[in-house]
């Protein structure tokens, strides 16, 4: 912007003007006519608007943005309540299962039902003698046990031929998996596997905190099947 014909303004920058207006709010009180006469380009079309109208438009846009954020917060809150309710019902189902030998089947079935998971299964090792011949205690490879022991948090990602995917049965190929270690006293004694034909259901980028909670609750419920935990009647 040229300063020609405006003596005394040599070297004044737009920032200087902005700073002056910020530091002298009374300027517009002394020159109120400017608020009505200053014309600005409308952000969404070619017409010009007054400064007041532009400020009102900016305020409306800000309010609209805040409304969207509030709606998103409400939606997220409702989703969290729904998830908490499902987790509560799943946990209750485990606690109300008196027969310890039935816990694995109830655990997997209620996971599928409450969280709409296409497939869920598990394997346990080192269980008490009374449960050694159960389906959930069928032999699995040393690699699976080693893998479960190495997991500090659930694994989520594509099914790249994991042995655990074979525990899910069914006719559908599971494109993505969540593998959740089951631990007692810091030692792994099983692996819970969730599967989906949708490759985006379980991804390496997704958070695992909720799945970790699932693993902790499942581990607590299944620990009844370990040696010294009772005769299977459930206490």
Q: What percent of the chain has pLDDT over 70?
A: 83
User: Tokens 């846009």 — which residue?
Assistant: 61
* pLDDT tens per residue across span 129-153: 999 999 999 999 999 999 999 999 9
Closest CA to 33 of 46, 15, 51: 51
Q: Which of 76-90, 178-192, 218-232 has the highest mean pLDDT?
A: 178-192
For residue 3, is pLDDT > 60?
no
Q: How many angstroms separate the CA atoms of 18 and 12, rounded?
A: 11
Nearest 10 degrees: Cα torsion 147, 183, 115, 205: -50
Give me the residues paired with residue 59 across strands: none
Quote the CA–CA distance of 51 and 94 in Å, as a whole number: 64
Res 21: pLDDT: 78
Give residue 235's pLDDT. 36
CA 218 to chain centre: 20
Starting at the edge strand found earlier in the chain, the sheet holding 187-196 runs 119-124, 187-196, 176-184, 155-158
DSSP, res 234? -
Instruction: Return the HEC string of 46-65.
Output: CCEEEHHHHHHHHHHHHHHH
For a pLDDT cut of 90, what percent of the chain falls above it?
58
Q: How many CB atoms lie within 10 A of CB 148?
A: 23
Q: pLDDT category, 43, cuts 50, 70, 90?
A: low
């Amino acid at each position: 912007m040229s300063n020609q014909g405006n003596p005394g303004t040599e070297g004044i920058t737009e920032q200087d003007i902005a700073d002056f207006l910020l530091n002298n709010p009374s300027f517009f009180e002394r020159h109120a006519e400017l608020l009505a006469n200053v014309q600005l380009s409308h952000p969404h079309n070619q017409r010009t608007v007054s400064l007041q109208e532009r400020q009102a438009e900016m305020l409306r846009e800000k309010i609209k943005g805040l409304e969207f954020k509030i709606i998103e917060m409400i939606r997220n809150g409702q989703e969290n309540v729904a998830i908490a309710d499902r987790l509560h019902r799943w946990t209750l189902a485990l606690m109300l299962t008196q027969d310890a030998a039935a816990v694995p089947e109830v655990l997997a079935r209620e996971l599928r039902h409450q969280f709409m998971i296409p497939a869920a299964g598990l394997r346990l090792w080192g269980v008490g003698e009374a449960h050694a011949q159960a389906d959930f205690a069928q032999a699995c490879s040393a690699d699976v046990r080693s893998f479960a022991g190495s997991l500090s948090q659930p694994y989520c990602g594509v099914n790249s031929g994991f042995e655990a995917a074979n525990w899910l049965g069914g006719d559908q190929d599971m494109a993505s998996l969540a593998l959740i270690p089951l631990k007692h006293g810091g030692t792994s004694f099983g692996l819970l596997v969730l599967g989906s034909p949708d490759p985006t259901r379980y991804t390496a980028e997704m958070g695992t905190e909720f799945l970790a909670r699932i693993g902790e609750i499942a581990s607590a419920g299944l620990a009844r099947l370990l040696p010294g935990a009772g005769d299977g009647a459930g206490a």
